[in-house]
């Protein structure tokens, strides 16, 4: 999909960027036909989409010192004073984009500038690897940044393009992330296939039904579009970060009073304690809002609303000690552990000595059931939009970090009973496909 084309006097180098909700990757051309991934961190071709702003940055410096990727997460885990920012892609298309947030020591930063700063870091690392300036970019995008709202979806795409241009890209082109994954898969097969690409990442679940094969790849050389090969694309704004939120609400936050009842009062039916604070604690870009002094004071005053005093004490400890991001990270790790082992032990000792929670695969699946249904329906809708019966699909190709969740993969695959299930590189397939697409659109 082509969205914009800049002009340049020369033909500078080009790059492909997969700017993900949870992880990002960068691809450069390699050899006569291939691509290579930039080692964004030693030994890692992908980097968590995370930025840590240090609150101890000397006051005379105009901007707070920033750490990126695993170093950002490590600084937060180690208790360095500052602000961790993750899932910043989720604010594209929202009113938060131009709002600013506190990062400590009296400094504030706009969410838009967080996105721009992270892209600038990726560009700098790509240029260091390439040994030249890179002004042409293929940038991955979800099928929908925002569900059922074309205006906000266009706004999100425009904001991401503006950020790319601000960091120095003169020519910016988009490609759907599931289409990029299909191009990566195509480079490894020997015959034509009808493939449903399921790209389940951190922020979106995207599907594309694509005809791929060596002959189609050969015919595509020299042209950027393959409209005849792309039968349909569809998606929903649900994925890994939504799963994390549901896991936290199901397995962790009940220990802090989520879903608990107030003390019984004569003549009144029991009522739940207010739940807004729990939903904010489980949403990365809203966690910092619960630390505001006025909100902490309000939570303190609600002690008598809790029938179980330990619930209120734990909640207050979470907000006064700023443990919200640690709880969210524990939920994310529990989701990963369940995907790998079928069970998870969640250590909450930082919140209260000896406190822990357990999560089993069936409980995790139940927590995200509503999201699973919508994602499975989106897969079926993609085939319907293409006018293709499910039995005609040859392959369901899974990519994206959240495809490690077995119940999700099984549910999607069950809708296409004749298709082979193929798993791509969960974190690199999209970037590699974007790189292959960049070779075509930029004439390499």
Give residue limits of the domains in the chain. 13-189+426-441, 241-367
CA-nearest of 51, 111, 58, 55 to 79 is 55
Instruction: Give the per-residue pLDDT at 2.
Output: 43
Check residue 96 and give its pLDDT: 86
Its pTM stands at 0.80
Helical H segments across 167-282, by residue range: 177-186, 214-220, 240-247, 276-281
Residue 221 has what pLDDT? 59
pLDDT at 120: 97
Structure tokens, 278: 């729990």
Contact 317, 299 (CB under 8 A): no
Say if CB 208 and CB 178 are below 8 A apart.
Answer: yes
Phi, psi for 187 (deg, rounded to 5): -70, -5
pLDDT at 225: 57
DSSP per-residue letters across 45-110: SEEESEEEEETTS-TTSSS--EEEHHHHHHHHHTT-SEEEEE-GGGGTTSGGGG-EEEEETTEEEE
d(CA 398, CA 421) in angstroms, rounded, equals 8
- How many whole angstroms separate alpha carbon 310 and alpha carbon 353? 12
Contact 234, 406 (CB under 8 A): no
Q: Of 46, 40, 394, 440, which Cα lies nearest the Cα of 192?
A: 394
Q: Which CATH architecture has domain 13-189+426-441?
A: 2-Layer Sandwich (3.30)
Where the chain has pLDDT below 50, the residues are 1-10, 222
pLDDT of residue 3: 44
Give the per-residue pLDDT at 383: 97
What pLDDT sits at residue 305?
A: 93
Cα–Cα dist 46/411, whole Å: 28
């Amino acid at each position: 999909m082509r969205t914009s084309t800049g002009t340049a006097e020369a033909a500078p180098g080009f790059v492909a960027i997969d700017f993900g909700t949870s992880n990002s990757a960068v691809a450069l051309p390699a050899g006569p036909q291939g691509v290579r991934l930039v080692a964004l961190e030693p030994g890692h071709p992908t980097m968590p989409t995370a930025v840590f702003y240090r609150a101890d940055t000397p006051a005379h410096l105009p901007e707070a010192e920033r750490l990126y990727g695993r170093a950002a997460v490590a600084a937060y885990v180690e208790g360095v004073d500052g602000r961790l920012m993750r899932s910043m892609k989720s604010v594209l298309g929202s009113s938060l984009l131009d709002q600013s947030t506190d990062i400590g020591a009296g400094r504030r930063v706009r969410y838009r500038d967080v996105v721009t700063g992270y892209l600038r870091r990726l560009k700098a690392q790509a240029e260091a690897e390439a040994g030249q300036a890179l002004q042409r970019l293929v940038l991955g995008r979800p099928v929908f940044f925002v569900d059922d709202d074309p205006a906000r979806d266009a706004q999100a795409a425009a904001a991401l393009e503006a950020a790319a241009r601000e960091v120095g890209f003169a020519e910016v082109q988009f490609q759907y992330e599931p289409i990029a994954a299909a191009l990566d898969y195509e480079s490894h097969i020997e015959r034509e296939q009808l493939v449903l690409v399921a790209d389940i990442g951190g922020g979106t679940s995207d599907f594309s039904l694509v005809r791929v094969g060596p002959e189609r790849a050969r015919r595509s050389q020299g042209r950027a579009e393959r409209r005849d090969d792309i039968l349909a694309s569809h998606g929903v704004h649900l994925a890994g970060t939504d799963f994390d939120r549901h896991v936290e609400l199901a397995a962790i936050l009940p220990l802090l009073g989520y879903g608990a009842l107030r003390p019984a009062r004569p003549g009144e039916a029991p009522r739940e304690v207010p739940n807004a604070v729990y939903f904010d604690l489980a949403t990365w870009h809203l966690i910092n809002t619960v630390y505001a002094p006025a909100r902490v004071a309000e939570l303190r005053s609600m002690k008598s609303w809790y029938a179980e005093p330990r619930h209120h004490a734990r909640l207050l400890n979470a907000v006064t000690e700023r443990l919200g991001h640690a709880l969210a990270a524990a939920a994310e790790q529990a989701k990963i552990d369940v995907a790998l082992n079928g069970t998870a032990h969640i250590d909450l000792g930082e919140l209260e000595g000896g406190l822990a929670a357990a999560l089993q695969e069936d409980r995790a699946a139940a927590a995200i059931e509503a999201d699973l249904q919508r994602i499975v329906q989106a897969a079926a809708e993609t085939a319907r939009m293409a006018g293709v019966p499910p039995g005609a699909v040859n392959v369901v190709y899974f990519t994206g970090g959240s495809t490690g969740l077995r119940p999700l993969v099984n549910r999607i695959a069950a809708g296409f009973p004749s298709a082979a299930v193929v798993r791509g590189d969960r974190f690199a397939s999209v970037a590699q496909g974007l790189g292959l697409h960049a070779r075509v659109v930029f004439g390499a």
